[in-house]
Amino acid sequence: DQQVKQNSPSLSVQEGRISILNCDYTNSMFDYFLWYKKYPAEGPTFLISISSIKDKNEDGRFTVFLNKSAKHLSLHIVPSQPGDSAVYFCAARTSGNTPLVFGKGTRLSVIA
């Protein structure tokens, strides 16, 4: 059973427009959520995170929104740039020192 779900395997967006990547989770004990970006032949890199006590966190062009009642979070990238083309992983954790649980990823392609 998948606790973190990214239901869109891929997304294509035009340069300058908004990219919205979605993530759903089933475990109500998750209290911290993260997004990672991964380029081919490289390791994933941390992008942005949000605590369950917040509903929004912003860092430059990247904003993560959390809707706890719907068990849903989303990553907004505005404006999208060709360099944003990568695979994006959503991850979550419960309290304590439990490892992160990752979704399957969404491949974003930003077209110039």
Q: Site residues (CB under 8 A) for another protein?
A: 6, 32, 34, 36, 41-46, 49, 89, 93, 97, 99-105
**Beta carbon nearer to another protein, 32 or 79:** 32
Pairing of strands 106-111, 10-14: parallel
Scanning the structure block, which residue is given the tokens 């399957």?
Answer: 104
For residue 106, the minimal CB distance to another protein (Å) is: 10
Tell me the closest approach of the beta carbon of residue 41 to another protein, in angstroms: 8
* Nearest-approach distance from CB 87 to another protein, in angstroms: 9
